[in-house]
Amino acid sequence: MFASFSTPGSDLRQVLRLAWPVMLSMLSYSFMAAADAIFVGRLGTVPLAAVGLAVTTVFLFIGLPMGLLRGIRVATAQAIGAQRQQDADGYGWQAIWLALLSGLGVASISVFGPWVFSMLGATAEVQVEALAYFRVRVLAAPVILLAMGLTAWFEGRGDTKTPMRVNVSANLLAIFLDFVLVGGLGHIPSLGIRGAAWAGVIASSFASLALLISAWPVLRRLSWRPVRALLEEGSRLGIPIGVQRMLDILAWTTLTGVLASAGDAQLAAHVLAIRVLMVSFLPGLAIAEATAVLVGQAVGAREPERAHRSWRAGVAAAVGVMALGGMSFVLVPDLLIAPFHAAGDVVPIAKDLLLVAAAFQLIDAIATVTYLSLDGAGDTRFTLIASLVLSWGVKLPLGILLVRWAGLGAVGAWLGLTAELGVLLAVLGWRWYSRRWYRPEVLPVAEAPPQIAAAV
């Protein structure tokens, strides 16, 4: 057990120093996602429901590569903590290789998209619109994953400002392109839901190029060839994260399909509420991401007590941010929903969902910080098992029961999510305080084989 002590102000400042750029980046992403919903929502309930279904399915396809790239971030942070600078630099090229190759793999299996949408049970109109969005986004998976991989590498190095500047710019570009492409402007015709998809792809392409240019001063000193030792370490940490993410998204996609079969209004309200929830959840997630980097660096330096102090500081910061979000869901739900111009039958459902979200905000804050801290410590197999058991053993069956048999619709799905979060927090809290996440015997202690300098 850890000794009990208050969170030092220096630890909180360190978390916030890393977190605020990630927070701005994620807030800009939440505004971009909201813009998608706002502009598409003006086209009607069917397109709004379709964009939610399509985005969920896109993440289902790229969930495994996303987790694998998060392993690069953990490995980079631990290398920084262990003062293995050459390895930390070398993970940049490994991130590029993993992103491009896995992205091509995702694009190649996109032919299964229509089958997935038919299995989810959405109406024919929603399926057509969702497939139009999906095809554009999933074929651009290599570019999307490249931006994610380089962001993970920069953050693992403790540089959250560079990806923040790039990603905020990219998300602002996406919002502008939503305005132009979804509804049309001047001689530019309206592309509808396809316009929202193309806006995201163009913005991701910009982000990938800008991050590559920013990383080049480091990358140019190294060989572009894959380094087996680094790939193996990144994969050891990242594969469990990727499997967890993919299976969790699959469970959530299945639940979304259940909502789709409950009616377009239920699915549209779910999409709308998710977009609003992101305004408070993503800043909390940013704090959790920053905390995970600090935990990884502390574990790499073999300083578990410093890792624990970072975790405590991260919990305090995330609770504060997400509590404010929960209060706004209760006090001003109409103000938050109004920009989406939702249909009359969608608004009451969305307001009920925000009340449920307000109830689980604090649980979610602590659980998210603890979950990502365990990942940052390299305890990725445990988080995989915990997430798998609870997502498929609690959230999905309880959500289906409440949606279909209790007739609660989207509210039932969110109550299932709340139950899962409560149990998950208890399990993760036990794991953290057990200290079983600290295993110095598996940490690399030597540099990877020297890399051949790239030709300049």
174-187, pLDDT tens digit by residue?
999 988 998 777 77
Is 448 inside any structural domain?
no
**The pLDDT value given to residue 130:** 86
Q: What is the pLDDT of residue 450?
A: 43
Q: Which of the residue ranges 27-31, 153-157, 178-182, 235-239 would you say has the lowest mean pLDDT?
A: 27-31
Among residues 280, 302, 367, 371, the alpha carbon closest in space to that of 67 is found at: 371
pLDDT, tens only, 314-337: 999 999 888 888 888 888 888 888
Q: Which residues contact 335 (CB under 8 A, 6 or more apart)?
A: none
Mean pLDDT of 436-445: 78
Distances in Å between the Cα of 391 and the Cα atoms of 96, 173, 357 are 31, 35, 18
Which DSSP helix (H) or strand (E) runs through 108?
helix 85-108
Is the pLDDT reported for residue 456 higher than 50? no
Q: For position 256, what pLDDT does the model report?
A: 76
Residue 139 has pLDDT above 80, yes or no: yes
84 domain-assigned = yes
Q: How many domains does the chain have?
A: 1
Determine what percent of the chain is predicted with pLDDT higher than 90: 36
Residue 115 or residue 148, greater confidence:
148
Question: Does residue 119 lie in a domain region?
Answer: yes
Give the pLDDT confidence score for residue 451 in this predicted structure.
Answer: 46
Spatial CB neighbours of 373, under 8 Å, sequence gap ≥ 6: 288, 291, 292, 295, 307, 310, 311, 314, 432
pLDDT of residue 1: 37
Residue 113 belongs to a domain: yes
> What whole-number distance in Å separates Cα of residue 65 and Cα of residue 141?
10
pLDDT at 63: 85
DSSP, res 391: I
Taking the C-alpha atoms of residue 269 and residue 345, their distance in angstroms, rounded to an integer, is: 9
Are 126 and 260 in contact by the 8 Å Cβ rule? The answer is yes
Tokens of 195: 């316009």
Closest to 144 in 3D by CA, of 170, 169, 162: 170
Q: Is residue 128 part of a domain?
A: yes
* pLDDT higher than 90, residue 163: yes
C-alpha 260/C-alpha 49 separation (Å) is: 8
pLDDT at 453: 39
DSSP 265-305: HHHHHHHHHHHHHHHHHHHHHHHHHHHHHHHHHHHHTT-HH
d(CA 318, CA 346): 30
The pLDDT of residue 445: 55
Residue 243 is assigned to a structural domain of this protein: yes
Please state which of the ranges 30-34, 131-135, 290-294, 332-336 shows the lowest mean pLDDT: 30-34
Q: Bin 159: left if φ > 0, else alpha if -120 < ψ < 50, else beta.
A: beta
Domain ranges, residue 131: 9-441
Average pLDDT of the residues of the chain: 86
Residue 455 lies in a domain: no
Residue 3 lies in a domain: no
pLDDT at 444 over 80: no
